[in-house]
Amino acid sequence: MAEKSKILIIGGTGYIGKFIVEASAQSGHPTFALLRESTVSDPAKAKLVEGFKNSGVTILIGDLNDRESLVNAIKQVDVVISAVGQMQLADQVNIIAAIKEAGNVKRFLPSEFGNDVDRARAVEPAKSAWAIKVGIRRAIEAEGIPYTYVSSNYFAGYSLTTLMQPGLPPPPRDKVTILGDGNAKGTKSSFKMLIVDNLSTSKEKID
């Protein structure tokens, strides 16, 4: 059996990142989570971090703005998955630089989790966020880093409190629009593990 890829998740305690960390560990990959010192010491995150440790996840202390900690973390793995939030999307240029310096990464999955920003059109405020993601894609490609872009389109949880009625105060009381039959299911965290286990191409987009 082929050796499992070692995976580093950056942004692993966030809305999406925590599920990626769990899926990686459950898939048997040696899993590393790069966390800030303030996150590890945060009582609100204590249970989550302890759960990671109990699952065999190696906790590394670092920061996107600390080059040395980034490079040291990346040198320990084969695959880097970024799950940083919108406020840190632009800071992924630091991850790209660290991957280039480390020189050992076989695959980078930047923080996407939305529409394919090279094909979709948007209005503000999404337009500005997408422009950052486009810039990150071009930076990855310019450095020749093997990548996969995962476009999940939309997570219902983003609008769950308004029952998919953007802009309305939750919960909506007048009317609700039902989209689809409610039976479609998908798990993006597990999907990412399938990508990691099948590194056949250096450049890939997944919709």
Number of CB atoms found within 10 A of residue 26's CB: 14
Quote the CA–CA distance of 31 and 196 in Å, as a whole number: 12
Q: In this structure, is residue 30 part of a structural domain?
A: yes
Kindly state whether residue 59 falls inside one of the protein's structural domains. Answer: yes
9, pLDDT greater than 60: yes
Can you count the helices (H) and strands (E) in the chain? 7, 7
- Marked catalytic residue, from 6, 18, 133, 192: 133
Q: Using only the alpha carbons of the chain, give its radius of gyration.
A: 18
- Residue 1 located in a structural domain: no
Residue with the larger pLDDT of the pair 123 and 25: 25
133 is catalytic: yes
pLDDT in tens, 55-93: 999 999 999 999 999 999 999 999 999 999 989 999 999
pLDDT, tens digit, 9 for 90 and up, residues 141-169: 999 999 999 987 766 666 666 666 666 67
**pLDDT for the residue 98:** 98
Q: How confident is the model at residue 191 (pLDDT cuts 50, 70, 90)?
A: low
Asked whether the CA dihedral 26, 27, 30, 33 is positive or negative, the reply is: negative
Question: Which one has a higher pLDDT value, 141 or 2?
Answer: 141
Residue whose entry in the numeric block shows the structure tokens 């486009």 = 134
For residue 171, give the CATH number of its domain.
3.40.50.720
**Residue 186's pLDDT is what?**
56
Question: pLDDT tens digits, residue range 110-126?
Answer: 998 878 888 878 778 77
Q: Is the peptide bond before 43 cis (omega within 30 degrees of 0)?
A: no
Domain assignment present for residue 105? The answer is: yes
Q: 168, 189, 184: which is closest to 26 by C-alpha? A: 189
What is the percent of the chain where pLDDT is above 70? Answer: 75
pLDDT of residue 193: 64
Quickly count: other Cβ atoms within 10 Å of residue 28's Cβ: 12
How far is the C-alpha of 113 from the C-alpha of 16, rounded, in Å?
A: 9
pLDDT at 81: 98
Per-residue confidence (pLDDT) for residue 5, from 0 to 100: 95
Is residue 14 a contact partner of residue 35, using CB atoms and an 8 Å limit? Answer: no
| C-alpha triplet 32, 36, 39: angle, nearest 5° | 100
* Domain membership flag for residue 2: no
Q: What is the DSSP letter of 6?
A: P
Q: What is the pTM of this model?
A: 0.78
Kind plus residue range of the DSSP H or E element containing 203: strand 203-206
| Parent domain of 47 | 7-206
Is residue 105 pLDDT above 80, yes or no? yes
Domain count for the chain: 1
